A and B are shown apart, each in its own frame.
Chain A
Amino acid sequence: MTVPEKSTREGPMVCLKCNLPLQPGKVAISYLGSSFPVDLPKCPGCGQVYVEEALALGKMAEVEKLLEDK
């Protein structure tokens, strides 16, 4: 399997709803009744967040598994 090439991010993502660059912000993520505060890129206007591929398939997948087996 080949993973499509990923951009090396130089600038932050831009929210197209508000036309604002995303900034790190506190976001609550939860699964199966457990909730954690994390820092994620977030639009200062509307609150839209960004979860990049590496996070979704890496750390998040790991924590999902841990919580499923708890």
Chain B
Amino acid sequence: MDQDELRKLEERCIQYQPPNCAAACPVHVDVRSMMAQAARGNFTEAAGVFRKTVPFPGIVSRVCDEPCRAVCKRGDVGEPLRVAAIEKACLDNASEVHAKIPLLPKRESRVAIVGGGLSGMSAAFELARKGYSTVVFEQEPRLGGSLWDYSEEKLPRDVIAEDLKVLSKVGVEVRLNAHVGRDQPFDVLCDEFGAVYVAAGPQAHDAFGLARDEDGRVTVDPATLAASREGVFAGGSMRRAEGQRSPIRSISDGRIAATSIDRYLQKVSLTASRAAEGSVESRLYTSTEGVEPLPATPIGDARQGYSSEEAVREASRCLQCQCLECVKVCEYLNSFRGYPKKYIRQIYNNLSIVMGHRHANKLINSCSLCGLCGEVCPEDLHMGLVCRKARETMVEQGRMPPSAHDFPLRDMQSSNSETCAFARHQPGTTSSRFLFFPGCQLVASSPKHVRNAYALLMRNLSEGVGFMSRCCGAPAQWSGRVELFEETREDFLASWRALGSPLVIAACSTCHDIFRTHLSEVPVVSLWETLDNLGLPEREEKRTREAVAVHDACTARHATALQASVRSILGRLGLEIEELPLSREKTECCGYGGLMFFANPELAKSAIRRRIEESPRDYLTYCAMCRDYLAFSGKRALHLLDLIFDTPWDEAALRKGPTYSQRRENRVRLKNGMLRELWGESTPQELRRETIRLRISDDVQQLMEDRLILIEDLQQVIDAAERSGYKLLDPVTGHFIAHDKPAGVTYWVEYSAFGNNDFLIHNAYSHRMEITEDLKP
């Protein structure tokens, strides 16, 4: 990921975008924060937020034309917030604060402001703060311009007087009764001052020789407010049509002009990065789904405005707009307490770091890569793609923590080893038009279903149905092992071509997805579409059981035909279907996807729990891993093949998935059994399990599952210890303790021996740190 990619990705996460109100406000009052404070009754803090961006708060809270209200999301569910009325209540109820206005050191240049209305005063305030000697020329005997047109009731005179005090605080010089153009020639002003801001108000008859449009209004560059004469800027009501006067836009003009003048006098670009000034549109998306509509809070006393209680009530209607669409539906994104823009930055930093702690390793490796975020994101930002890319980079840099994916990668290696993997034409044939590819996890979880499904396909399809047991390479792809995935892919292709490049019938959604996205030369169809077309096994009567809730596999998210076939089969089986709130293209991962379970088991468990809680019904899955992970967490879950092959309902729903050791053993046994029974081949390999017998209690078995320790690991340690004699005795318990390091991991086993290769296991644990043990004979 380079800086450019980083920025493009970050840009697509719109959570950081301002809410509509603050974007539409030309001076960008942080309305959302102000409302949050006001809703809690923190009026002083709320007023502080308001004052931060508005130099004349008393005036603005009474006369603001509120461009924020037109775009307020509350308007979709009720009425827009009464923002100005709340602002006024905040000021009324705030404790007295005398915040110091920070002033920059004095500068040489002087600036003239023509016109002492809101716009001119705002420019003067900003420029004086920046250290410029600023002089306001006002032709009337008082400042304020058209503010005096408001009634006393709407805008009390003492409020004006109070707000204007700020000008003297920042050292603005005011010359009243000073009519530029009459008392003082404009040219002289331009000579005397480094820059001039003309904000002479709506009735300005004199344009001081500046270029004007056909209606007589001064023409300016809308982004910088630069007028036709060098060093002269113009804004406020004098550039707006009659009836389009806007106090808040006048203030904004003053501020924009002040920025321009500052840049002009410092001789830097007037135009660079100014897109965010003034009223802008926000890309922030905020869902109002499920929000109760609420009308605006009435103002009890029109003269006084909102009371503090009323203001709290009204401010509480604020939706506190934010997007978080992905965070709302994803346990992973939620658990790291941020949102994609932050995560992308953390991932970028993690990948760029040379020395030091890589804080985001876990963040990168915990994502299930399922893509739900991309589905719900208004900008289609898919964090899974970001995380997978990041994993690839980490592997390339040699920075991938070995512990994160070691176990599933070894599992894959085992699936594709001589002991488990095999491919054959249909017994008695020499060519295959089809190839049944059950996938390593269905083989591991339900070898019986694999055999039944194969028999069914052979019965119903002509021209040969070959069989192949192996792993599609998903763990390599998920863990960022590009080269390993490529090797796995090549191995599959070689085996597939040797069978005559048949049409692959995939039982597993992940295999189906991997073939579709990474092996485009391989034609593939799901087992479910195939069975839906072929028909199901005969059965005596239709089931009349209650509905099942369909849990779609995340890797079948975009496989709409597959999803439809699953539902069609369920219908033919006589079952009612409940659609979960998040299903089909918006389905959730079971926790196995992206190897989440291995990199962050706690998170995976809470992701599964979240999924389980969506419906009390039995879940119907069509992925072996989904079924086993749901069942592992105590959910009644069935595999579609359980129903097709009529496994007794409760037995199927309650079945705990096999342990990791049993999964491996099932793969070996399936190969040996099928080769023997269907192809009449002898199988010389003997399971080590059959020569070294281990007695393992349920508790120890569970411990081994949690610690990812296999029976064959223990057999290896004990075998080595018993042969070499290198073992320890615990004199207190009489147990033996031995260790061995077959590959990256050192396994420790505490056991008792009964002779004849019969052992009782008391405990097992492992570590990855290597002990330098110089054994002497």
* A contact set with B: CB distance below 8 Å: 1-4, 6-17, 22, 27-32, 35, 40, 45-51, 53, 56-57, 60-61, 63-65, 68-70
Contacts and interface: CB of A to CB of B under 8 A. Distances in A.
25 contacts: A2-B699, A4-B762, A4-B763, A6-B763, A7-B735, A11-B731, A16-B727, A17-B727, A22-B728, A27-B773, A28-B771, A29-B771, A29-B772, A30-B772, A31-B768, A31-B770, A47-B774, A47-B775, A48-B726, A48-B728, A60-B769, A61-B767, A68-B404, A69-B359, A70-B356
A13 B773 contact: no
A9 B735 CA distance: 12
A2 to B, nearest CB: 5
Interface stretch (B102-110, B338-346, B539-547, B700-708): B700-708
B402 interface: yes
Interface of B: 356-359, 361, 401-404, 697, 699-700, 702-703, 706, 724-733, 735-737, 739, 746, 748, 762-763, 765-777
A50 B37 CA distance: 60
Given A4-B697, A16-B727, 9 more contacts: A1-B702, A7-B732, A13-B728, A28-B772, A29-B772, A47-B775, A63-B769, A65-B401, A70-B358
Contacts of B768: 31, 64
A46 B729 contact: no
By CB atoms of chain A within 10 A, which of B729, B732, B768 has the most? B768
A13 B739 CA distance: 14
A69 B404 CA distance: 11
A65 B726 CA distance: 29
Interface residues of A: mostly helix, strand, loop or mixed?
loop
B401 A68 contact: yes
Contact of B730 (A7, A30, A49, A70): A7
B775 A46 contact: yes
By CB atoms of chain B within 10 A, which of A4, A10, A35, A65 has the most? A4
Contact of A3 (B356, B402, B703, B748): B703
Contacts of A47: 773-776
Contacts of A40: 771
A65 B767 CA distance: 11
Contacts of B359: 69
Nearest to B702: A1
Given A4-B703, A51-B739, A56 B401 contact: no
Sort A-B residue pairs by CB-CB distance and give the 8 closest, nearest first.
A68-B401, A28-B772, A56-B767, A7-B733, A31-B769, A13-B728, A11-B731, A14-B729
Contacts of B775: 46-48
A57 B706 CA distance: 12
A42 to B, nearest CB: 9
A22 B730 CA distance: 11
Contacts of A56: 748, 765-767
A22 B727 CA distance: 12
B322 to A, nearest CB: 31
Contacts of B772: 27-30, 35
Nearest to B356: A70
Given A10-B732, A30-B770, A68 B748 contact: no
Nearest to B725: A17
B748 A53 contact: yes
Contacts of B703: 1, 3-4
A14 B731 contact: yes
Contact of B728 (A4, A15, A69): A15
B776 A45 contact: yes
By CB atoms of chain B within 10 A, which of A45, A48, A50 has the most? A48
Nearest to A19: B729
Contacts of B726: 17, 46, 48
Contacts of B771: 27-29, 40, 49, 51
A1 B705 CA distance: 10
A8 B736 CA distance: 15
A66 to B, nearest CB: 8
A10 B733 CA distance: 10
A51 B748 contact: yes
Contacts of B746: 51
By CB atoms of chain B within 10 A, which of A6, A35, A68 has the most? A68
A61 B724 CA distance: 28
Contacts of B402: 32, 68
A68 B729 contact: no
A40 to B, nearest CB: 8
Contacts of B737: 13, 50
A25 B357 CA distance: 31
A22 B765 CA distance: 20
Contacts of A32: 402
A47 B726 CA distance: 10
Given A7-B732, A53-B763, A64 B776 contact: no
B659 to A, nearest CB: 14
B732 A16 contact: no
A16 B728 CA distance: 5
Contact of A9 (B358, B702, B730): B730
A22 B767 CA distance: 21
B777 to A, nearest CB: 7
A28 B726 CA distance: 19
B702 A30 contact: no
Nearest to B404: A68
A6 to B, nearest CB: 7
Contacts of A35: 772
Contacts of A65: 401, 403
A31 B741 CA distance: 14
Contacts of A53: 748, 763, 765
Given A3-B703, A27-B772, A68 B732 contact: no
B762 A13 contact: no
Given A1-B706, A68-B361, A16 B773 contact: no
A68 B404 CA distance: 10
Contacts of A11: 731-732
A49 to B, nearest CB: 6
Contacts of B357: 69-70
A8 to B, nearest CB: 7
B775 to A, nearest CB: 5
